[in-house]
Structures are given as structure tokens and as C-alpha cells.
Chains A and B, each alone.
Chain A
Amino acid sequence: MSPKVERSIYIVVIAILAVYLLILGKKQIELQKNIPITAEELYKKLSNPKLKVQIVDVRELTSSDEVGGYEDSRIPGALPFPNCDESKMNTENLKDALQRINPYIYTVIVSTDGNPEIFKKCAQKFNNAQNLAGGMKAWQAAGLPDESGEYTPPKAGGGGGCL
């Protein structure tokens, strides 16, 4: 076999393997989007300062149900975005929260019970979003830390990290 032919065969094999790897990578990302993250997995991610995770809470600000609304109990650092509706972001603090929501980073959507319909509606506004399985109900049931009160924008130079 001539060296030219042999080299071509090697290159073709490598190219086929590389394309196969790319297809698998794309498939992996798509699958990850469709699998909800559990409260424990999210807590682990939040505990890792190297991972950038944005939490968007799509519940109403206050609610009379057992889970409560955003202001009653929320995942520390979560940004309010009631019903994923920009028109509801009408106070100064909520406008600030809306400005902080970045649609291009990895986002976990928090609803009351992890309803897939609510997630589908809200996920359209984000490039890479994942649903919190069981929503805030599961977070509370797992006994993980939460915070309450009105959303207040973080102070300049206050630093990150909330857990």
C-alpha cells in the first residue's frame, strides 16, 4: 500500500470517529435538557463555586399554598420571574432582577412542584435550562437551606456565594 493511500485511510477513520463524537456530544446536551435536576444535585452544584448556576424562581411572589411563594421561601440566590412574564416585573427591585436574568447561562427553573408544562413555557426564554424535579416542594422536603423576604439586589462588591 502506498503511503499516500495509507495516510488517507487513517485520516478518514479519524474524521469518522470525530464526527461520531460530535453527534454523541450534541445528543448528550439535548438529553440533559430533558432530565430534571434533583434538589440534592442542585444543592451540590450550588456548593461548587466553580460552577455558574442561575436559579430562576417562576412562582408568584406570595402564595397561600403550603409551599408558599417566592417571598415566603426560596432557594438562596434565586431570581424572581413570576410566571416568566416580563409584564409582572413592575417594581424597582423586580426590574433589577429582570436585568440580572441572563438567558445565555445554565439556568435551573424553580416552580412550585416542578410542573413540566410551566418549565416548557419558561425554558423557551433560556438557552440552557433545566427543571428542578419536584420544584420548591422537593427542595423544602429535602430540608435544604432557603431564604425568605422581598428580593433585594446584591450590594456592589458584596461577593458571591450563598450556601
Chain B
Amino acid sequence: MSMVERALFWIAIIILIVSAVGMNKQVGELEKKLSQVSATQGGNQ
């Protein structure tokens, strides 16, 4: 396996890890927002 091929694989892996971390953060924020909304709705009922 050439160095170029290895480097390309690593670049792809790093891009995917960065995207996953970013998306995970967004999902966490949305979950937090949803729990706040549910709590507000529960409080109103």
C-alpha cells in the first residue's frame, strides 16, 4: 500500500470523525432543546 493511498484513507477518516463529532454536538443540543420544550409543555398542562 503506497504512502499516498494511506494518506488519503487517513484524510477520509479524519473528515468523517470531525463530521461525526460536530453532528453529535448538534444532536445533543437538539435533545437538550427537546427536553426543555417537553418540560415547558408538561408544566403548562
Contacts and interface: CB of A to CB of B under 8 A. Distances in A.
Interface of A: 3, 6-7, 10, 13-14, 17-18, 20-21, 24-25, 27-28, 31-32, 34-36, 116, 133
Given A21-B19, A24-B23, A24-B27, A31 B13 contact: no
B20 A20 contact: yes
The SS class assigned to the A binding surface is: helix
A25 B30 CA distance: 12
B41 A17 contact: no
A116 B38 CA distance: 11
21 contacts: A7-B9, A10-B9, A14-B16, A17-B20, A18-B16, A20-B20, A24-B23, A24-B24, A24-B27, A25-B23, A28-B23, A28-B27, A28-B30, A31-B27, A31-B34, A34-B34, A35-B30, A35-B33, A35-B34, A35-B37, A133-B37
Interface of B: 1, 5-6, 9, 12-13, 16-17, 19-20, 23-24, 26-27, 30-31, 33-34, 37, 41
A134 B15 CA distance: 39
Given A17-B16, A21-B20, 10 more contacts: A6-B6, A7-B9, A14-B16, A24-B24, A25-B23, A27-B27, A28-B23, A28-B26, A31-B31, A133-B37
Given A6-B1, A21-B19, A21-B23, A14 B33 contact: no
Nearest to A36: B37
A14 B13 contact: yes
Contacts of B17: 17
Given A24-B23, A28-B30, A7 B1 contact: yes
A14 B13 CA distance: 6
Contact of B13 (A13, A32, A34): A13
Given A7-B1, A17-B17, A21-B19, A32 B30 contact: yes
A6 B33 CA distance: 42
B32 to A, nearest CB: 10
